[in-house]
Structure 1
Amino acid sequence: MTKARTISFDLHVAYSQAYLIDLIDDAMGPGDLLDDHPTHPVGIIRVKDGIAFLVTGLHTGTVGFSATVADGDPGADTDGYEDIVEISFKSTVGRVSLLEWSPEVAHDLPDLTTGPGWYRLRYHARGMDEAREADTSAEIIDSYLLQIRPQDESQPRVVKSTSKLLAMWRSAG
């Protein structure tokens, strides 16, 4: 049986972005958009050196966000979300935080279940197209679920793709 811990919060975004960072002393969010995987693009999540760049539909405002840290695969929520992508992430310390656009605002996530090592990030998105059309909003239009579980490094993959925005990000590289 998979053990999992989920936390939910409102996440303020600007420029359609937030960052998952490995909690090392000098960690900060990236200044620029990270490159997508060259042969298996997933578009809305990109990783490099202990940082995951998460793309949202809303440009500026508040999105709904949940993060689940599990010791095994909790399963993708294919009924509850329109888009789902996966990518590998290496943690050097076994602790991560989700940063808003302003690096002073961080949401600490539960400790990773097996400490330092490789993890799989499964990023779920709902309402991206509607949020992109609205551009800015104090009301929640789009929502996200990030699942984090131990797994050896493997190729990124798209589990489910229905939004125009995910298709655009995947083709943008």
Structure 2
Amino acid sequence: METTQMDLQVHYSQAYLVDADDECYPDGMLDDSPTHPVGIIRVEKGNAFLITGLHTGTVSFTVAVADQDPGADLEGYEDVVEISFESPSGHVSLYEWGGGGVHGIPPLSVGPGTYRFRYHAYGMDAAREADTFDVVIDRYLLRIWPAPHRDPVVLKSTGSYFQYWLSAG
């Protein structure tokens, strides 16, 4: 498993994972799955819209790319969801809101294809309450591995801000 950790600058509680074949990050909020909502991550081919608790400031963000399911960290995170993602190129980058910065991610393990994202969140409620802060309050882990397409699923749900996004559709 290849892991990359970064301090990610967010605005409007947003960050984006963008495939190398796409020209830019999503132009607005992507729709949640209508039948299996997961709230804090939304995808379309080549793009993922990631929601954080902090409105503006720095969050801790880790991306781990594996060649098989690395398992969920249900003890270390408060909210954990999964969703399938299609990568046309096999290469993705993490973009800060408004083009503020681009962070490289290790190449996806089997190149172009379908992957599973497991998005872990910790501290979303405290970060949302703080709203704007330069000290890291919330942290996120995105695990990526090749897998056939499956319905999105919520593995763990404890935070009220997560529940807000889950019901926001």
- The alignment's TM-score, normalised by the length of structure 2, stands at 0.98
| Aligned match of 2:129 | 133
CA distance in 2: counterparts of 1:165 and 1:111, whole angstroms: 32
| Aligned match of 1:16 | 13
| Aligned match of 1:118 | 114
| Aligned match of 1:36 | 32
SS in 1 for 2:16: strand
CA distance in 2: counterparts of 1:72 and 1:49, whole angstroms: 21
Please state how far the C-alpha of 1:30 moved relative to its aligned partner.
1.3
CA distance in 1: counterparts of 2:121 and 2:129, whole angstroms: 15
CA distance in 1: counterparts of 2:91 and 2:36, whole angstroms: 27
| Aligned match of 1:77 | 73
Query: Structure 1 residue 52 and structure 2 residue 48: aligned?
Result: yes
| Aligned match of 1:86 | 82
CA distance in 1: counterparts of 2:24 and 2:122, whole angstroms: 27
Query: Structure 1 residue 7 and structure 2 residue 34: aligned?
Result: no
Query: Structure 1 residue 109 and structure 2 residue 105: aligned?
Result: yes
CA distance in 1: counterparts of 2:119 and 2:70, whole angstroms: 13
Deviations 1:125-158 (A, max 9, x none): 0000000000000000000000000000110000
Name the % identity. 59
Q: RMSD in angstroms over aligned alpha carbons?
A: 0.8
* Runs (4+) off by over 4 Å: none
Which amino acid counterpart does residue 41 of structure 2 have in structure 1?
I
CA distance in 2: counterparts of 1:22 and 1:87, whole angstroms: 16
CA distance in 2: counterparts of 1:27 and 1:66, whole angstroms: 24
Please state how far the C-alpha of 1:104 moved relative to its aligned partner.
5.0
Deviations 1:98-123 (A, max 9, x none): 00013251101000000000000000
Please state how far the C-alpha of 1:32 moved relative to its aligned partner.
1.0
Which amino acid counterpart does residue 170 of structure 1 have in structure 2?
L
- The alignment's TM-score, normalised by the length of structure 1, stands at 0.96
Give the total of aligned pairs: 169
- In the TM superposition, what are the counterparts of 1:62-73 in structure 2 within 5 Å? 62-73=58-69
Gaps of 5+ in 1: none
